[in-house]
Chains A and B, each alone.
Chain A
């Protein structure tokens, strides 16, 4: 087997001008698509929430108010640039970029299209060169996404600290605690996907979800998907987990002291992250650019070429999740802080770990030729014993805390 370490089939062998230009073009296109998607997402969210609250929403700038974000952006661009006197000036200026850049980086590893049917493996031919409709396809793709999402914490944390003010500091302390707590559950549910796919590369994960029955949401048994969805919402600091910017308690949270372009960067990063996270969910669990197909029956969009059709499928699937995120925001009340931590540590992490062990046990049983049901039942029994031990430990510590009169 040849070890192929290039992040793109383009870059194997000698580097020539055409591949280099294609890569540059892809960078520009991915950046532009990211920006436009974010712009439309802001409008989409405001419009849908308005609809759910019986309001009209933005309707002045452009048709259906679709240019509202652009107008807001221009306004923010021309506003006065404020830096609080008691802030740490360098870190204060750095923080928005630390939030903004990771938001875009994750977008680089998401397969944005391509034909994964048959033996095509998502490769397309552009200008006589084989490549993927994806900026980079490193063999460790999904780990890259996790690493970037753990770096994204820095922007929020440093923004709060460098503002030199109490509310932003509280907001950022909350944010970092929340994001660190939910990252474990996020990573464990991704591990379940990696276990069934047998690869870390995003295009490899997509390629293995060829029909509806092969989608990871079904193969991994739906639980990792729900855990990922909840943990992702918490990572994004979106409602119902938006304690980071709980207006009633913290003014605006970590970005209270920010204004003008720097605030716009935070705002953009937040919505960009929502788009990227939805695309990541689709990639991991819903087949990415794969069309919906059951058995030999494939829903095919006529006229359009198969490679571009992948992009349309991805767009449709991502839109569903964007709508769900807006729906969360419009309908769910905010969690209390202790509820948030209880959910993360006492429910999601044990659940995702238990489910991961169950999947792994089944895999081992399959390899060793054991009876599937016996393996499943035995694992579930062992996990139940473990969970009751955990519950017992929690009960004991809670009772002792009550006895000592500690409130938290």
Chain B
């Protein structure tokens, strides 16, 4: 990776977007305003979508925008606005146990790195591989991966029902 291939336009794009994402992710946890933190998170998620586009996975990119930026973050902001979103800095935003989170984050990072390394190792995508179209993607999801997909939707359904049961009495 760190050879003459480094100066390919996609690589330059990747590093610029990655830098923006890292800065955004740091600001999510350091900013002193809830809404600003949410907006920085939007920057990180949009950066992920941009990375997918660089990988020519536009369906995944648009889904990322639709689901995370368009739905999850909107609901998140909606919730904070209804309850406690003040303008200006808030002093009590940091939990005093935040360093525990740091340890968890590091552990997760290591776990993911090991999983990626074990799963793919030095494998490379063949250069003349036809890019994945929306159709092949859906064939995969609703073909060999149908059962995990169903399981996932049942987990989500259970979460939704749980939320309703917790929030409403009727």
Q: State the A residues within 8 Å of B (CB).
A: 3, 5, 86-88, 91, 138-140, 143-144, 146-147, 150-151, 153-154, 157-158, 160-162, 164, 169, 172-173, 176-177, 180, 183, 200, 397, 400-401, 404, 406
Residue of chain B at shortest CB distance from A150: B70
The answer to whether A406 touches B170, judged by C-beta atoms less than 8 angstroms apart, is yes
Contacts A140-B59, A140-B62, A150-B70 given: A177-B78 contact, CB under 8 Å?
Answer: yes
Per the bound structure, the CA–CA distance linking A140 and B56 in Å amounts to: 12
Encode B63-97 as 1/0 by CB contact (under 8 A) with A: 10110011100110110011001011000000000
The answer to whether B134 touches A200, judged by C-beta atoms less than 8 angstroms apart, is yes
Query: Which applies to chain A's interface (DSSP): helix, strand, loop or mixed?
Result: helix
CB-CB contacts below 8 Å: B38-80 with A: 39, 42, 56, 58-59, 62-63, 65-66, 69-71, 74-75, 77-78
The residues of A that contact B82 with a CB separation of less than 8 Å are 173
The answer to whether A151 touches B65, judged by C-beta atoms less than 8 angstroms apart, is yes
The residues of B that contact A140 with a CB separation of less than 8 Å are 58-59, 62, 134
The answer to whether B78 touches A161, judged by C-beta atoms less than 8 angstroms apart, is no
Min C-beta distance of A247 to chain B, whole Å: 22
Min C-beta distance of B156 to chain A, whole Å: 15
The residues of B that contact A158 with a CB separation of less than 8 Å are 35, 39
Q: Which of A151, A160, A162, A183 neighbours the largest number of chain B CB atoms within 10 Å of its CB?
A: A151
Chain B interface residue bracket vs A: 20 to 34
Contacts A88-B88, A138-B58 given: A397-B170 contact, CB under 8 Å?
Answer: yes
The answer to whether A86 touches B81, judged by C-beta atoms less than 8 angstroms apart, is no
Min C-beta distance of B118 to chain A, whole Å: 30
Per the bound structure, the CA–CA distance linking A25 and B163 in Å amounts to: 51
The answer to whether B81 touches A146, judged by C-beta atoms less than 8 angstroms apart, is no
| 23 residue pairs from A and B, CB less than 8 Å apart | A87-B87, A88-B88, A91-B35, A91-B36, A140-B62, A143-B59, A146-B66, A146-B70, A147-B65, A147-B66, A147-B69, A150-B65, A150-B66, A157-B77, A157-B78, A158-B35, A158-B39, A161-B87, A169-B81, A176-B78, A177-B78, A180-B74, A183-B71
Q: Which of B36, B62, B82 neighbours the largest number of chain A CB atoms within 10 Å of its CB?
A: B62
The residues of B that contact A180 with a CB separation of less than 8 Å are 71, 74-75, 78
Does chain A have a CB within 8 A of B11? no
Per the bound structure, the CA–CA distance linking A82 and B81 in Å amounts to: 23
Q: Which of A139, A151, A172 contacts B70 (CB 8 A)?
A: A151
Min C-beta distance of B166 to chain A, whole Å: 15
Query: Which applies to chain B's interface (DSSP): helix, strand, loop or mixed?
Result: helix
Q: Which of B70, B78, B82, B134 neighbours the largest number of chain A CB atoms within 10 Å of its CB?
A: B70
The answer to whether A3 touches B70, judged by C-beta atoms less than 8 angstroms apart, is no
The answer to whether B62 touches A172, judged by C-beta atoms less than 8 angstroms apart, is no
Encode B128-170 as 1/0 by CB contact (under 8 A) with A: 0011011000000000000000000000000000000000011
Residue of chain B at shortest CB distance from A152: B70
Contacts A3-B131, A88-B88, A397-B170 given: A150-B74 contact, CB under 8 Å?
Answer: yes
The residues of B that contact A173 with a CB separation of less than 8 Å are 78, 81-82
List 9 tightest A-B contacts by C-beta distance, closest first.
A150-B70, A400-B170, A147-B65, A397-B170, A143-B62, A147-B66, A88-B87, A3-B130, A401-B170
The residues of B that contact A183 with a CB separation of less than 8 Å are 70-71
Per the bound structure, the CA–CA distance linking A266 and B86 in Å amounts to: 24
Encode B87-131 as 1/0 by CB contact (under 8 A) with A: 110000000000000000000000000000000000000000011
Residue of chain A at shortest CB distance from B46: A151
Q: Which of B36, B63, B78 neighbours the largest number of chain A CB atoms within 10 Å of its CB?
A: B78
Per the bound structure, the CA–CA distance linking A176 and B72 in Å amounts to: 12
Per the bound structure, the CA–CA distance linking A3 and B128 in Å amounts to: 11
Q: Which of B66, B77, B78 contacts A143 (CB 8 A)?
A: B66
The residues of A that contact B78 with a CB separation of less than 8 Å are 157, 173, 176-177, 180
Min C-beta distance of B14 to chain A, whole Å: 18
The residues of A that contact B130 with a CB separation of less than 8 Å are 3
Per the bound structure, the CA–CA distance linking A173 and B74 in Å amounts to: 11
The residues of B that contact A86 with a CB separation of less than 8 Å are 87
